[in-house]
Amino acid sequence: MNKPADFVFTPTTKAPEPELGLRGIPVDRYTDPVFIKLEDDCIWSKTWLLAGAACDVAEPGDFLFSKPRESVLVTPQRMALFARSTTFASTGKSIEGIGVWNSPYLSCGFHGLEYHLDGSIKEIPEAHDFLRVCPRGAEPQRGQCEAWGFIWISMDLGIEPLIDILGCP
């Protein structure tokens, strides 16, 4: 069917099928550590990510946790949600596991460091053995967290507010 050159597609007019070619997507796209790091640095660490349902972290001490490559822990405390990296500064180790749970504090199983629910240090056992770990430096990296029925997280402290990105009035 011939259409004039200035024809504009409407919702009732089917757009032409794009030419996608016959080549598959290379497996390296999903497994190459260089590409994965580039993706983490340029995409996942610079946007809002869906973490879970808001009802899963309704009470102080409730944790929402996921473990793809970099884990983030979300917990409510004094009517605010906190998102924190779950990598401990003292060891570089991360909490293992996936899911939702409740606890009065968070602890590193390797050295026994304990953190309050807001991410501040609760206790450093044998602190004299941790001279290289400044208490401020031992706190997990803080991110941003917002809730709209779902929990959204971003480790980019300078990111545009979620409400602006979603275009909500």
Q: Are 15 and 9 in contact (CB under 8 A)?
A: yes
Domain boundaries, the chain: 50-155
pLDDT in tens, 45-79: 888 888 888 888 777 777 776 545 555 566 666 54
Say what the pLDDT of residue 157 is. 85
pTM, entire model: 0.58
CA distance 124 to 122: 7
Asked if pLDDT for residue 135 goes beyond 70, the answer is no
Question: Between residues 151 and 100, which one has the greater pLDDT?
Answer: 151
* Beta pairing class for 62-66 and 72-77: antiparallel
Q: Are 123 and 131 in contact (CB under 8 A)?
A: no
Q: Which CATH number is correct for 50-155, 3.40.50.300, 3.10.20.30, 2.102.10.10, 3.40.50.2000? A: 2.102.10.10
pLDDT in tens, 105-130: 766 666 677 777 666 777 777 766 66
